[in-house]
Amino acid sequence: MKTAFITGATSGLGAEFARRYAKEGYRLILTGRRTQRLSALKEELGTECLIITADVSDEAKCKELLNDIADEEIDVFINNAGFGTAGSFLETSLEKEISMVKVNDIAMHILFKGVLAKMHKQGHGTILNVASSAGLFPAGPYMSTYYASKAYVTSLTKGVAHELKEIGSSVYVACLCPGPVDTEFNANADVTFSLKGISAERCVDECLKGMRRKKTVIIPTLRMKAATFGARLLPESFVIMMTAGQQKKKRQ
């Protein structure tokens, strides 16, 4: 039986990925901060499922998590834990921003590196780092730290993917870069999306299609593909100004 390891599985995309892999007959390893939600998801799925409660904003907990799965053969890793925050950089909470960087970047990095080493040794595996279309834009005023944190994810994933191709590795890595998705992200980031979001189900559908095609950067919906492509063609200052306008709308 194949095993899928999913972080941030308590809600949103993490929970939806769990449902999809459960349907495909995978054994699941689910992590998140809220044990009750993980237990409820396990009961819903009715599949073999190991629950590990962990707050990945703590670097030591990330390393403990890698120790917890040391003897596991992981076929798919959905590196999904993350959150956002919005507001003027002069006014946003330093503590929340640092916590976000710890989850979005440091935890992502530790778990990515640890699971990749495991997969390289076992000779196979798939890793999906959940980023954001924000990581493909030059900057995101009024969500500046979030945009920067997701740019780290996309850059790291693309760099590592190239390294693996050069050595002929059978391990496949990719990053998911959606636009707005209807999850708990809005409430946690204190924003309201100015653009209509897609469902978590549709986002995962599009992602799995991209993974089957072995794409490195997966962008659900034609609208976001067009937006990110257009951002590469237009002057950077104009793109940043337009992005700032969109972020301001989220806060109104």
> Active-site residue numbers?
146
Which tokens hold the place of 104?
Answer: 């979005």
Specify the residue for token string 């993917």: 161
The 3-state DSSP class for residue 146 equals helix
Query: Which secondary-structure segment (H or E) carries 77?
Result: strand 76-79
Residue 202 φ then ψ, to 5°: -65, -40
> DSSP assignment of 172-229, as one string?
EEEEE--S-BSSTHHHHHT---SSPPBPHHHHHHHHHHHHHTT-SEE--SHHHHHHHH
Which tokens hold the place of 214?
Answer: 């072995």
Is residue 207 within 8 A of residue 6, CB to CB? The reply is: no
User: Which residues lie below 8 Å from residue 8, measured CB to CB, with a gap of 6+?
Assistant: 14, 31, 32, 80, 81, 82, 130
Candidates 138, 189, 174, 181; CA nearest to 13 is 181
Is residue 9 within 8 A of residue 15, CB to CB? The reply is: yes
Compute the half-sphere exposure of residue 25: CA atoms within 13 Å on the CB side of its CA. Answer: 2
First-to-final CA distance of the chain? 49
